[in-house]
Amino acid sequence: MDEKEARLVELVLGGRTEAFEPLVTPYRQLLLTLAYRLCRNIEEAKEISQETLMRAFRYLGSFDRTRSFKNWLLQIEMNVWRSLGERAADEETLRELATRNTLEDPQERLAAKEAREKLFSCLDGLSPREREVFLLRDIEGRSVKETAGVLRTSSISVRVHLSKARDKIRELVKRRFPELMEGQR
Amino acid sequence: MSCSRVRKWLPLYAASDLPSGKARRLEKHLGECPSCRKEVEELRAALAGIRAVAGREILDWPEGEWNRFMARVRSEEPAPRSVPVFSAFPRKAWAAGFLIVLALGIAGLILRAILSSPASSLLSESIAATAAQPSRTLVKDEVPSGGYPQDLPFRIRRQQGAPGRTVLAAGPSQEKTKQDLMSMTLVSHETGLKVHWTLNRNFEWEEKKQ
């Protein structure tokens, strides 16, 4: 955690609650986007992000300041996602919701829509745990150790799921969207 | 090194997540195997492609919605300050403390063994050694003598006594006054159990003379 964040945490804990907004604003996109990629429903993603930030505010006093604030927020979000996931709809319903949300947003660009569909199509081929590991490590760029900390699991478990996830992603991209690979060679 | 063996390492190697030792061994194999090299290239291209796709869409909150939510958060009670007990004390300090306590415990046990007298050790051993015998002897005490000498000299009687202590008494046998015989009586004040042994000079069970 950097000095600026530490100072803001001190202010919030000292009763200056307005300091919470500058503390979490740098992560608002990250939390919303990750939640959306996990649940594929913009309203549910907002709900997950709000609950994450609300919990962060409530439990800020127990935050270990030797750790990364960003990873702490991600850890809370994964917990919220998992607790909500227990009552989540099945995959088919989620896909329908994702499509509906896309169509309801008039400002959305076609390229972003296509990109999202490709991403979701690949993520669909992963198990829930592989998806979490893949999103945190390969999309959000957390290290294996950080990913293990966020998911409260071991680095070995992360590597095992990551290995399977990457193998599946390679197969899926190669079969369905070979143009994505061509542009990267 | 065979392809089948290294193939499982390729997905981790493709994004530098393989431990360095395995990575070196894999690189040596890749230098000789075009098939595995191609697979690594595919993995890297697929990962880069999917990252590029993901980077095209970053969601953000509508400002009005974000401001309303932040206003709601500010209206909440300020977070209470608390220091987590375990995180306040670094893991290494916990580990060092544990090792010190363990070392002190071992040192204490060694000192206790050194400082305790040999007699008391023997006493402990004697008491421990008698514990297995009484149930067998209680039965044998009632059968006519004439069996193996080891089974005969015991006379077990339950007595009332103060609980919590075991008393060892040793002295000349009442039944045999020769100097090469020794009798020994163990009394447990906890259970009232009394064990009486008569031993010859070779520390063998001496047959009881009725």
> Chain A: nearest CA to B129, how far in angstroms?
50
Q: Which residues of A touch B80 (CB under 8 A)?
A: 61
Q: Do B53 and A185 touch (CB under 8 A)?
A: no
Q: Please, what sign has the CA dihedral across residues B194, B200, B204, B206?
A: negative
Considering chain A, what is the average pLDDT of its residues?
85
Which residues of chain B from 117 to 156 reach within 8 Å of chain A, CB to CB?
none
Residue B74 is nearest to which of A14, A18, A60, comparing CB atoms?
A: A18
Is B98 in contact with A75 (CB distance < 8 Å)?
no
Which of A146-155, B43-52, B78-87, B94-103 comes out lowest in average pLDDT?
B78-87
CA distances for A132 relative to A63, A81, A98, A138, angstroms = 23, 10, 18, 10
Residue B47 is nearest to which of A15, A37, A166, comparing CB atoms?
A: A166
φ/ψ of residue A152, rounded to 5: 55, 55
Give the tens place of pLDDT for each residue, B35-81. 999 999 999 999 999 998 888 878 888 899 999 999 988 888 765 66
**Rounded CA gap, A9 and A17, in Å?**
10
ipTM of the complex: 0.79
Whether chain A has a CB inside 8 Å of the CB on B51: the answer is yes
Residue A46's Cβ-side half-sphere holds a number of Cα atoms within 13 Å equal to 10
Q: Is the model's pLDDT at A180 over the cut of 90?
A: no
Quote the tokens at residue B170.
């040793």
Spatial CB neighbours of B134, under 8 Å, sequence gap ≥ 6:
B154, B156, B193, B195
> Chain B: nearest CA to A147, how far in angstroms?
12
Give the tens place of pLDDT for each residue, A47-89. 999 999 999 999 998 888 888 999 999 999 999 998 876 555 4
Give the tens place of pLDDT for each residue, A62-72. 888 888 999 99
Residue A53 is nearest to which of B8, B56, B73, comparing CB atoms?
A: B73
Whether the model pTM is above 0.80 = no
